[in-house]
Structure 1
Amino acid sequence: MNAAIFSIKNKVITWMVIILMTLGGVISFSKLGQLEQPEFTIKLALVITAYPGASPEQVEEEVSLPLEDAIQQMQQVKLVKSMNSAGLSQIEVEVHSQYGKDRLPEVWNELRNKINDSLAQLPSGVQQPIIVDDFSDVFGYLMNLVGDDYSYQELEKYSDIIRRDLVLIDGVKKVSVMGAPQQQVVVEISQAKLSALGLDPSYIYQQLQNQNVVSNAGKMLIGSTRVRITPTGEFSQVEEMENLVISAPNSHALVYLGDIAKIYKTTSDSPQEIYHDKGQRALSIGVSLSPGVNVVDVSKAITNKMDELLAKRPIGMEINTVYNQGAIVEDTVSGFLINLAQSVAIVIVVLLIFMGAKAGILMGGVLLITILGTFIVMNQIGIQLQNISLGALIIALGMLVDNAIVVTEGIIIGIRRGHTRLHSAKKIVEQTQWPLFGATIIGILAFAPIGLSPDDTGEFCGSLFKVLLISLSISWFTAMTITPFFCYLLFKDGNNEHANDSDDATYQGVVFTVYRGILNIAMRFRKTTMLLIIGLLFSAIIGMGHVKQVFFPASNTPIFMVDVWLEEGSDVLFTDDFLRRIEKDIITQDATNPIGLENITTVIGQGAQRFMLSYQPEKGYSSYGQMIIEMDSLDSMDAYLPIISQHLRSEYPEAEYKVKRIENGPTPAAKVEARFYGDDPVVLRQLAAKASRVFNDEPAMENVRHNWRNQTLLLRPQFNLAQAKEAGISKQSLDSALLTNFNGQVIGTYREQSDLMPIIARAPKEERLNAESLAQLQVWSAENNTFVPVAQVISSLDSEWENPLIMRRDRKRVISVLGDPVLMSDETADSVLRKVRDKIEAIELPEGYELEWGGEYETSLDAQQSIGNSLPLGFLAMFLITVALFNSVRQSLVIWLNVPLALIGISFGLLALNAPFSFMAILGMLSLSGMIVKNGIVLVDQINTELDDGKPAYQAVYDSSVSRVRPVCMAALTTMLGMIPLLSDPFFLSMAVTIVFGLGFATVLTLIVLPVAYTLIFRISVPKFKPLNQ
């Protein structure tokens, strides 16, 4: 049965469907989860392997190489990168993008097996590799626990209370506390006293280990009960270590450890990371949420729990929120919903103006029902409200009424011609249901390359395709059922006495008169028309070459970051002091001349906890620090960015800086990156120096640096084998003495309730901080049972320069020269790359050396290729559906010839508004192809109807074009105007411009070019007379 007849004659069923869709949609909307960005799996793992005492070259060759070879055997692995520094190998493993979150645990298990299998190839002294695979954890609720008057231990104790309470909240996955330095027990042993007593340091260390150990003393059977035996003797307090007897064997003198050593508990003087909050000592508390939860609701629950905890906090401790994803998501979603409401209102107003009050209200109701129906399915399959899914709804808005416009227009025309409502509804649905179904499928397939892409692009933008699939499918259903039902209720039957199938009375008015005149000229001078269009198209292609190219625009969040690199080798505490000076400077600036500063969070030693998906924390460097600066508004931030960038470089020139905004998409290390591959570090540094000069000479670039950093000083005591043998000193003994004196050596573990602290033996401060004391350092000779000065076992003390970092990529050494466009300028990564590319590629490379471009160029190219790989199949499917609809290749070609014409409008719009061509613009172009083909299908279907009615071919093409003006223009107009609210959103700006201008130009040209192309391809001659209604 005809769908329209069924819905009209079964009113109860139709009303039930309407009510269920309305109520179900409202309820489902209230249950939808909310996120800032779609959930996304970061397909990275980090393999960290310590090799204490090894040089970067030894780490590279003895640890990284065998591990990289084992990892590279995995077919799932896309890329292996390693950073080799003194005593530490850090290997980053990136998996092919088609391995989603469900398959990653299996991949990481295989990685662990590969690493374990290769351990036998590693030299002795290499510690067990640690595999970190939880990079996808996003700590979207990030806080700082501040208390300058409290010790780190006291702050850590209170943070444990917070962690235990927060982890119990439904929807909280993990609570991480960072920034607390390692607690340790230090035993400072005086070299002079040791020498005077002739005590072997290793004997003292062994005594400590033997005393402070958990061992099994067994059980005693007493009657029928076995009673456990646990002798005392373990250290319950640090002070008890002073009473440890360390007299030499066979010595009658009692010597206590406290006699020769100072013993105390402290924090490590070389912590891995240090946190500040506006210059105050802080711990970072990050809360990661479970997948699929409503971020807004869980964040509110966290805030409520924190309010309870703050009421009980120690006086002087404060909690400052760095990033509350829930609050940001709530603002973002609210803004999007306002945009959505505005778009709906715009569409309805347009319909009311151009279709009349009844038709406008009718289609507005159908639009709302379609959106509510979409919410039902989104809730059922777990699609959340985030910027991509909400953007998809706004993109779909105009398209959602396309089918309803065609049906309503057909019914109105039928009624005007004197037919009944039922007859008009039946006829238009019979005529258009399959063409509209095919056009809807084509509109959906236009987004298939995104949604069906097996890689990261498909995962990130997958909800775009799913939402459009759901909403457009529902729109076809409501157009075939609910739309004719509403038309039947709102309109009256036509008057049969005045029935007239002529278009003369139906298509009157200024718009139709002007269009007829233009169409008549275009069709009569069709070759000239086509040449003119081809000229416009070539002009547009040339114009696209002048459009700014970006990958993803920056975020609207008023937070920016300042990366700071001091000279490689700088002590972490020196870096800490340097960052404190900058913090104080910025806070003073804000106090004297307010800049809109809200907060500064500083991390020294590595990046902060990942608080948003696009944030890439830096790996560990003692010379690195990062300031996360929150401003009160986007305007304040934009005004301050160039100021702080210039101020830092002029007032603190001893460091390298990168001032950057938060990005919406992937964030490479730099916008522009030139990689040089080769074997010789000297040659690689020479190539990097040449490339750096090119970058520095370009005024449009800043933040120029390379990732091998500066070379660092290395002290090389020349070990004299002959003298050492005579003195009974081994190299290991010398290394141990040097380590103990200058850094400290772990000699045991101290237990304090659940805390395990290393016991560190080292020299007093006055002995270990004096470089000149190295020669006077005493080394114990077990063979001669005495101390020997270091000067007796080394022939000289030399120094040399070494590479502190050796970078590798896919098992080859690589050095990356990095740079960025000048901040807050009109320059983009693409424009800067064009300026320096030829100069960089002109650098002569020795044999065996290669150049490769990375940065935004690489990430953008990867994303475009991932879509491009799916495009041919998607467009082929769309074309085949078009052929199947009309059983004609030539008619399909006529329709598809109009798709490239959108480029005329796109080029004009982007240039006129100075908008960049971004990844989102590519999505807009894909959606345009579906919209244009859909409009073409409506027009060609009408031509076939006119031909079937027996009209001459030329007249049929002409009349069909006139009759489709209103539905085609209305569909385009509703889509274009519905996009207006997105023009104020930087993330969707380029996509909105692409659709608005592309569809606008393409629609006008479609109504001209398609009829002209049709008459050319089908060789329809131009009659000598004018068309009947001209």
Structure 2
Amino acid sequence: MNLAEYSIKKKTVTLVITVLLVIGGIISFTKIGMLEDPEFTVKDAVVITAYPGASPQEVEEEVTDKLEIAIQQLGQLDEIKSISKAGLSIITVTIKDKYGAADLPQVWDELRRKVGDAQGELPPGTQPSIVNDDFGDVYGILLAVTGEGYSYKELKDAVDYLRKELLLVKDVSKVALWGAQKEAIFVEISTSRLAQLGLGLDTVYASLKEQNMVVPAGSIKVGPEYIRISPSGTYNSIESIEDLQIRDPQSDKVIYLKDIGTVTRDYVDPPSQVLHFDGIPAISMGISIAKGGNVVKLGEAVNQRLDQLKGMLPIGMKIQVINFQATDVTLSIKAFVINFLEAIGIVIVVLLIFMGVRSGLLIGSILAITVLGTIIVMEMTGISLQRISLGALIIALGMLVDNAIVVTEGMLIRISAGMDRIKAAGEVVRQTQMPLLGATIIAVLAFWGIGMSQDSTGEFCRSLFQVMLISLMMSWVIAITITPLFCKMFLKAGVEGEEPQDPYKGFIFVFYKKMLSLSIRLRWVTVLVAIGMLAVSIYGF
């Protein structure tokens, strides 16, 4: 007894599994992660080291070279690129392709240890090196907060509030700001006034540096409790900075900072980031999704929270949309659903013409069950619906019906000839299951090179191979189990007493038989024609 006969005899079990595949596929479709593009691992890190006052040559010789020697000890290293500028060393570290997302955290930790060990060899005045490996976030939602007539400080306060609230939304991984202008306190000192008073700039710098420092001042015991001592002298306003007392240790002169310069509060000029939305100054918020999240549901949750937060913003401030990836993904999913329904419709129409109504509807239903079963496995294995996996499903739609057609046609011919349905199912599956499995494996192996590639292209397109593997193998399993049961239940048997019809007497079969006989008789001509066509195709390529 093979799988086909067992599936028919255990009809209830097979039908329950079929219903579970349909219901589970629909539920998985609502829960599966949805993105625009596959998650992608950036295998680069940047080591930034500031060496104020040094020339590019000094930075290269005293900082960059020493750090490169330390970094080159990494066994996972693929390539190093460095830029030495006046006062700044920038080293880009690229890791070998064979290391995936699961390996990189450990690699970056080892990189930080190597860079940390090299800090003792750097010259005095060099600031600690910064290792930045956080390049993998994709901000699928990009918003702009505008407020005509409001200052950047007021915009920044509003954006900081929105950021804290949006970080609480489910599946939000990070909210990054862009375009916020940095504020600074500018102290412009008159060198001529300093010269008149006999003070040096070092004295002014030292006085500014010593003030406003947070240091522990201890505590005193008052009864059963200890009261913390908080010293005064912090800067609370521009005026408090202007009233800073500067004492010259040599002449013992004491003056106020406002006597030798002006103190102002303004934005850093030129700004490092500038953003305008429709000609109005703005600050943007980029929202990235957590790993395995559903960007469509994230978009709905963010929209819902933004509707609640808009009423809490000052009048005149607006939240504008620069890019909303959830909309693009929704359109892609809808396009796939339409393509899926069109594919089923085309399959049914074509089979209606060549195999009859019952066969067409039967194979169309098998196609739907196969796709739903594939979505279940995708959801279980963490494969999201995105550009590549959707493309794989669309490619697979034309291949998923092949196994079902072979089994259905074989059973249709035998049942029409009066054979017992269970016997027909067993005979067809017994004859075709291994050839169908071989053909399915060959079709899967066509995508093996993409799926198993260790470079960035392989990582980006891996879901193409994974989805083709899951869907095609699912189609083979369903073809030798569920399909025979459906054929037994729905295919029409021949009329008792009538002579069985020859299924191969149609025009197409007769023409094909003549062409096949001719090709076999003129076998060498056929081989030469095939070789010639291969050569022409290679030349054309």
Same-fold call, TM cutoff 0.5: yes
Contact kept? 2:80, 2:91, Cα under 8 Å: yes
Counterpart for residue 534 of structure 2:
537
1:333 counterpart letter in structure 2: I
Q: What residue in structure 2 maps to residue 665 of structure 1?
A: none
1:785-818 deviation per Cα after TM superposition (whole angstroms, max 9, x unaligned)? xxxxxxxxxxxxxxxxxxxxxxxxxxxxxxxxxx
Alignment-derived partner of residue 456 in structure 1: 456
Tell me if structure 2 keeps the 8 A contact 1:420–1:493.
no
Amino acid corresponding to residue 537 of structure 1 in structure 2: L
| Structure 2 equivalent of residue 395 of structure 1 | 395
Map of 2:87 onto structure 1: 87
Find the aligned partners of 2:104 and 2:252 in 1 and give their Cα distance.
64
Query: Distance between the aligned counterparts of 2:294 and 2:374, measured in 1?
Result: 19
Quick check: 1:207–1:246 contact (8 Å CA) kept in 2?
yes
Q: 1:85: Cα distance to partner?
A: 2.1
How far apart are the structure 2 equivalents of 1:59 and 1:344?
65
- 2:506 is the counterpart of 1:509: yes
Instruction: Assess if the C-alpha contact under 8 Å between 1:419 and 1:496 holds in 2.
Output: no
Equivalent in the alignment of 2:409: 409
Counterparts of 1:98 and 1:460 in 2: how far apart (Å)?
14
CA–CA separation in structure 1 for the residues paired with 2:250 and 2:120: 43
* Superposition deviation, residue 526 in structure 1: 2.6
Residues 1:230 and 1:11: Cα distance change in structure 2 (over 3 Å): closer
Greater Cα offset, 432-441 or 447-456: 447-456
Matched residue, 2:153: 153
Q: CA deviation at 1:494?
A: 4.3
Mapped pair 1:355 → 2:352 = no
Distance 1:198 1:400 in 2: 90
Structure 2: how far apart are the matches of 1:31 and 1:18? Answer: 20
Question: Contact (CA 8 Å) 1:42, 1:136: kept in 2 or not?
Answer: yes
Tell me the equivalent position of 1:579: none
Q: Residue 199 and residue 405 in structure 1: after superposition, are their counterparts in 2 closer, same or farther (change >3 A)?
A: same
Between the aligned partners of 1:499 and 1:479, the Cα distance in structure 2 is 29
Q: What's the secondary structure of 1:41's corresponding residue?
A: coil
Contact 1:44-1:93 within 8 A present in 2 as well: yes
1:520 to 517, 520, 526: 517
**Residue matched to 2:288:** 288
Which runs of structure 2 are paired with 1:166-205 in the superposition (5 Å)? Answer: 166-205=166-205
Measure how far apart 1:250 and its partner are.
6.3
8 Å contact from structure 1 (residues 418, 498) kept in 2 = no
Q: Does 1:308 align with 2:305?
A: no
Q: 1:417, CA displacement in angstroms?
A: 3.2
Who is 1:115 aligned against? Answer: 115
Question: How far apart in 2 are the matches of 1:374 and 1:4?
Answer: 21
Alignment partners' CA distance in 2, 1:58 and 1:270: 27
Q: Quote how far apart the aligned CAs of 1:247 are.
A: 4.7
1:365 paired residue number: 365
Instruction: Evaluate the alpha carbon distance shift between residue 518 and residue 225 of structure 1 in structure 2; reply closer, same or farther with a 3 A threshold.
Output: closer
Contact map agreement 2:186 2:263 (CA 8 A) in 1: yes
Does residue 1:340 correspond to 2:337, yes or no?
no
- Tell me, in whole angstroms, the C-alpha distance in 2 between the residues paired with 1:235 and 1:414: 94
Deviation at 1:69, TM superposition (A): 2.0
Which residue is 2:275 aligned to?
275
Contact 1:145–1:317 (CA under 8 A) maintained in structure 2: yes
| Distance apart, 1:475 and its partner CA | 1.3
Matches of 1:38 and 1:182 in 2, distance apart?
35
- The answer to whether the 8 Å contact 1:417/1:498 transfers is no
Task: Tell me, in whole angstroms, the C-alpha distance in 2 between the residues paired with 1:254 and 1:493.
Answer: 112
Report deviation, 1:109: 0.2
- Structure 1 residue 490 displacement after superposition: 1.9
**What are the Cα deviations for residues 661-693 of structure 1, in whole angstroms up to 9, with x where unaligned?**
xxxxxxxxxxxxxxxxxxxxxxxxxxxxxxxxx
TM-aligned CA distance change 1:495 to 1:303, over 3 Å: closer
SS at match of 1:287: strand
**Deviation larger for 20-29 or 409-418:** 409-418
Offset of residue 232 of structure 1:
1.7
The answer to whether the aligner puts 1:59 opposite 2:56 as a matched pair is: no
Is contact 2:347–2:360 with CA below 8 Å preserved after alignment? no
The 1:213–1:538 alpha-carbon spacing in structure 2 relative to 1, beyond 3 Å, is same
Cα separation, 2, equivalents of 1:49 and 1:420 = 81
CA contact under 8 A between 1:421 and 1:491: conserved in structure 2?
no
Contact preservation (8 Å) 1:362, 1:487: yes
- The DSSP-based 3-state class of the residue aligned with 1:217 is coil
Q: Who is 1:104 aligned against?
A: 104
- 1:445 Cα offset (Å): 2.7
> How many Å separate the matches in 2 of 1:423 and 1:245?
104
Instruction: Indicate how the Cα distance of structure 1 residues 253 and 32 shifts in structure 2: closer, same or farther if over 3 A, else same.
Output: closer
Distance change in 2, residues 1:491/1:339 (3 Å): closer
Q: Distance in 1 between matches of 2:67 and 2:524?
A: 67
Rate the CA distance shift 1:203–1:425 in 2: closer, same or farther, 3 A: same
Superposed, 1:521-670 pairs within 5 Å as 521-544=518-541
Letter in 1 for 2:298: V
Taking a change above 3 Å as real, the CA distance of residues 247 and 475 of structure 1, as seen in their structure-2 partners, is closer
- Distance (Å, rounded) in 1 between the aligned partners of 2:359 and 2:410: 12
Q: TM-score, normalized by length of structure 1?
A: 0.51
In 2 relative to 1, CA 402–241 (structure 1 residues): closer, same or farther, beyond 3 Å? same
- Specify the alignment match of 2:24 in structure 1: 24
Deviation of 1:524 (Å) = 2.7
Task: Give SS of 1:145's match.
Answer: strand
Letter in 2 for 1:10: K
Matched residue SS, 2:271: coil
Shift in Å, 1:263: 0.6
Query: Could you tell me which amino acid in structure 2 is paired with residue 431 of structure 1?
Result: Q
Q: What is the CA–CA distance in structure 2 between the aligned matches of 1:358 and 1:226, rounded to whole Å?
A: 88
Shift of 1:452: 2.9
Q: What does the per-residue CA deviation read over 1:106-149, in whole Å, with 9 as the maximum and x for residues that have no partner?
A: 01000000101111222222211111111001111111222342
- 8 Å Cα contact 2:43-2:95 kept in structure 1: yes
- Name the SS of the counterpart of 1:34 in structure 2: coil
Task: Report the Cα distance in structure 2 between the residues aligned to 1:373 and 1:95, rounded to whole angstroms.
Answer: 37
**What does residue 242 of structure 1 align with?**
242
> Aligned partners of 2:458, 2:252: CA distance in 1, in Å?
78
Residue correspondence of structure 1 range 626-1025 to structure 2 within 5 A:
none
TM-score by length of 2: 0.94
Deviations 1:188-223 (A, max 9, x none): 111111111111111122122223222232223445
Q: Is contact 1:169–1:302 with CA below 8 Å preserved after alignment?
A: yes
Q: How large is the RMSD of aligned CA atoms in angstroms? A: 2.1
Distance 2:493 2:335 in 1: 44
Give the Å deviation of 1:160.
Answer: 0.5
The 1:328/1:381 distance shift into structure 2, 3 A limit, reads same
Structure 2: distance between partners of 1:58 and 1:275: 36
- Bigger drift between 405-414 and 161-170 goes to 405-414
Tell me which amino acid in the other structure corresponds to 2:33.
G
Distance 1:33 1:250, change over 3 A: closer
- 3-state DSSP class of the match of 1:521? helix
Residues 247 and 20 (structure 1), Cα distance of their counterparts in 2 relative to 1, 3 Å cut:
closer
Quick check: 254-263 or 510-519, which moved more? 510-519
Letter in 2 for 1:539: V
Task: State the Cα deviation string for residues 360-391 of structure 1 (Å, max 9, x = none).
Answer: 11111111111111122222222221121111
Matched residues in 1 for 2:224 and 2:399: separation? 85
Which letter maps to 1:354? Answer: F
Percent of residue pairs identical: 48
Aligned residues: 541
Counterpart residue type for residue 257 of structure 1 = L
Q: 1:263 to 1:339 in 2, by over 3 A?
A: same
Equivalent position SS for 1:319: strand
Match of 1:827 in 2: none
1:411/1:425 contact within 8 Å kept: yes
Write the distance in 1 (CA, Å) between the matches of 2:107 and 2:485.
54
1:883-933, Cα deviation, whole Å (9 max, x unpaired)? xxxxxxxxxxxxxxxxxxxxxxxxxxxxxxxxxxxxxxxxxxxxxxxxxxx
Alpha-carbon distance between aligned partners in 2 of 1:491 and 1:253, rounded to the nearest angstrom: 109
**1:186 and 1:431, CA in 2 relative to 1: closer, same or farther beyond 3 A?**
same
1:37-71 CA-to-partner distances (Å, cap 9, x unmatched) read: 11121112111111112222322232222212222
